[in-house]
Amino acid sequence: MSDISSNSAEERAINASQMKVSDTDVAIDVVGMHKWYGDFHVLRDIDLKVMRGERIVVAGPSGSGKSTLIRCMNRLEEHQQGQIIVNGTELTADLKRIDEVRREVGMVFQHFNLFPHLTILQNLTLAPIWVRGIPQAEAEATAMHYLERVKIPEQANKFPGQLSGGQQQRVAIARSLCMQPKIMLFDEPTSALDPEMVKEVLEVMISLAEEGMTMICVTHEMGFARQVANRVIFMDQGQIIEQNEPETFFSNPQHERTKLFLSQILH
Amino acid sequence: MAVQDNIAGPPRTAFYNDPVIRGIFYQLVVAGLVIAFLTWIILNTAQNLAAQNKSTGFGFLFETSGFGISFTLIPFDRSSYYWQAFVVGLLNTLLVAVIGIIFATMLGFVLGVARLSSNWLIARCATVYVEVIRNIPLLLQLFFWYFAVLKAMPAVRQSFELPLSIFVNQRGIIVPRPLPDFEIFWVAVTAVLALVAAIAMVVWATRVRTKTGHYPVVVSRASRIAGLIVTFGVGYLAISLLGTVVPALSLGPVFPLIGALVLAGISLSPYGRYGRVFIGFAIGWAVANFLLGGMFAGLGEGIIVLGAALVALGIAWTMLSADRRSAATEGKLPLALPVLIVIALPALVYWVTGASLAFEIPVLERFNFAGGLQLVPEMVALVLGLTIYTAAFIAENVRSGIQAVSKGQTEAASSLGLREGDRLRLVVVPQAMRVIIPPLTSQYLNLTKNSSLGAAIGYPELVNVFMGTTLNQTGKAIEVIAITMLVYLTLSLTTSAFMNWYNARVALVER
């Protein structure tokens, strides 16, 4: 944040860190949340308040419950104790509330999960047409707009199987954006990609952050965390161990476990 | 020089090392061998037949057969020709195949879905069914159904009597024979047209929904009215049926009428689901009472009514929880309209044209039943055996198809806010069908070919009538076997042609 260089990525980082974060508007509020898989206690007493406009990166060793945490936020997984309130709606077994939350929360998966039997355009318009009841022509116009944003409008009529991994993941992001969500969840979006394709996906995510999207991102891309996040959360064994601004988190980690983790992934 | 040669073209090879020339050579050798083999077989057969003074040719088809067939779809007697025997056999094969395919598909899909049920008991029952049935030879199962079940039924005079004048005995199942008059034809035509119209309406409404974001106004208004009419009709039925269980409620025709009006009114209010649950409860109670009464005739009436009420409460509870789980139905096309079209239009024509459908009730006479339609035990056993056997395989195809759609697909659809029905319809089923259809077609083929085992229990299908009796009487082995093989080959090739067309149509595009 302090030193200014000619590197455009660095300039972007400055832009991003100056992004407005709301002080009062809570996007996601997780209070005393526990989750078990059978006897296995996956998430222990999670407390997390995400403000509107925040960009949060969740890091931690595998099996620490990072993915499970964000999957609880749109109830792909159910929690057994505590509260999760998303956009003011508490997630319970009530399907109406779950639908309400899912309409406003987009999710991007590690393995893209595009619908292989539909064209890219159909992938993008499916939910707007059937969930929001938007006329087809309008939905297609929106879809083309977002395809241009992720820089692949020429692929609109191809099938997912014909695209590279990076392109597929950008389509997946565009698919979520077509529902015009208030919050985006990313579950290791670059882990299944070839190294040279990681960049094109990260660029899309950075531009999203610049527009002020509330984002929660599980990732091992520490460069992305430094550049975009305004908060990094470190998890281990189902608990949030440490959270801080990226600068402090990377330069001065407090917890032993965090130091060990950082030394392993940053070399 | 050598270098220049390389630049000019590929290095020269001896012609016998050239893969192209070698390929052509081997093809010629194989073709020659095949032609030689076929020539040898044909010449040899002709020679042997000539030595036995046997004539060849298909002239025998137009000779009188001189035997009777126990079950025929077209008129056939001893004076009929062999080609008619062939047609009888073919029709009997097709009859069993078509009925078997329909029932096996229904049973198989139910079992396949049941194996994936989260209900432990249902899933285990389905697993046991599949594992037991598919590991027992089909012929054994046919013998079981024919000898151990159907032939063990009581003699004619002690027939089991089922409701609706259906009788079961050693000679098969005897059901009332429908006696349609001419006007029924128009009712049938209307029924088909109504079905087509209902499907077309749903397809059109769905298209408009996709294009404009909402269902056409005409359709949604008509749907609301149809919903009212259906609720009224079903409510009337439910309350009338309730009268059969609780005699105090059968207060003449006015009471169900008022009740049905109330139920239709409730369906407009936000408490509509309680009306539906009540209807489910009433019908469930009456049906369960009827069935339990039939099964445990020995028990007291009070116990049966109580047991039936418990069953009905279970149904009501299931409906209530299912209803709660499928909240948010604003954008959904109600089923009432197509249902009403399919039922009401033919009913209207039936009433307007004054058509009547009478039934000839079977009556027990001194030695046998007079009237009615007799389903021979051979056919019942064959249909039962084929259905139950093939359904086990179809269940596995269905299960594998559904499981082949990765969990990520459902998750992605959920995260986009698609509701369960839409997830299944738009994402899971289209992908599962791609996996299910090809093996399903080969199960249909298997069922058709396995119907030839009917010969073992005396069902007069193609192999029994034509390759059995006809072949024995005429001795035209080559011709008869060739015709029979041709029939099965045609059936198989038609099915696989369809399968290839379908596969090409739904194949995923990759690269």
Block residue for tokens 């309730």: B242
Higher pLDDT pick, B171 / A48: A48
Q: What is the largest CA-CA distance in chain B?
A: 114
Say how far apart CA B227 and CA B212 lie, in whole Å.
23
With an 8 Å Cβ cutoff, is B419 touching chain A?
yes
Phi/psi class of residue B344: alpha, beta or left (left: φ > 0; alpha: ψ in -120 to 50)? alpha
Distance from CA of A7 to the nearest CA of B (A): 37
Neighbours of B100 (CB within 10 A): 25
Q: How many CA atoms lie within 13 A of A37 on its CB side?
A: 9
Q: Which residues of A touch B405 (CB under 8 A)?
A: none
pLDDT at A113: 95
pLDDT at A23: 80
Please give the structure tokens belonging to residue B381.
Answer: 């056993």
DSSP string, A84-137: EEETTEE--S-HHHHHHHHHHEEEE-TT----TTS-HHHHHHHHIIIII---HH
DSSP annotation of B81 reads B
pLDDT in tens, B428-437: 988 998 889 8
Please give the structure tokens belonging to residue A245.
Answer: 């601004």
Distance from CA of A259 to the nearest CA of B (A): 34
Say how far apart CA B64 and CA B50 lie, in whole Å.
25
Helices (H), A105-218: 120-127, 136-149, 165-177, 195-210
Side chain identity at B211, as an amino acid letter?
Answer: K
**What is the percent of chain A with per-residue pLDDT over 70, rounded to a whole number?**
93
Please give the structure tokens belonging to residue B34.
Answer: 């095949």
Say how far apart CA A47 and CA A83 lie, in whole Å.
9
Nearest residue to A170 via CA among A183, A182, A154, B269: A154
pLDDT in tens, A201-224: 999 999 999 999 999 999 988 989
Query: Across the interface, do A136 and B210 touch by the CB < 8 Å criterion?
Result: yes
Say how far apart CA B316 and CA B279 lie, in whole Å.
9
Say how far apart CA B380 and CA B175 lie, in whole Å.
13
A103: Cα separation from own chain's centroid: 15
Query: Across the interface, do B422 and A114 touch by the CB < 8 Å criterion?
Result: no
Nearest to A162 among B408, B414, B510 (CB): B510
Mutate to test the interface with B, among A111, A115, A123 (most CBs of B within 10 A): A115
Helices (H), B377-508: 377-404, 407-415, 420-422, 429-450, 462, 471-474, 477-506
pLDDT at B323: 66
Q: Write out the residues of chain A at the interface with chain B, using a CB-CB cutoff of 8 A.
A: 74, 76, 94-96, 99, 102-103, 105-107, 109, 111, 113-117, 126-127, 129-138, 158-159, 161-162, 172, 175-176, 179, 185
Q: Which long-range contacts (CB under 8 A, 24 or more apart) does A15-19 make?
A: A15/A210, A16/A55, A16/A206, A16/A209, A16/A210, A16/A227, A16/A228, A16/A230, A17/A230, A19/A53, A19/A55, A19/A209, A19/A210, A19/A212, A19/A230
A197: pLDDT strictly greater than 80: yes
Q: Which of B56-60, B133-137, B317-321 has the highest mean pLDDT?
A: B133-137
Distance from CA of B123 to the nearest CA of A (A): 20
Nearest residue to A56 via CA among A44, A68, A66: A66
Strand partners, B260: none
pLDDT at B1: 46
Say how far apart CA A95 and CA B420 lie, in whole Å.
10
pLDDT in tens, A92-115: 988 888 999 999 999 999 999 999
DSSP string, B134-154: HTS-HHHHHHIIIIIIITTSP
Neighbours of B253 (CB within 10 A): 9
From residue B480, give the alpha-carbon distance in Å to each of A95, B36, B231.
64, 25, 58
pLDDT at A4: 36
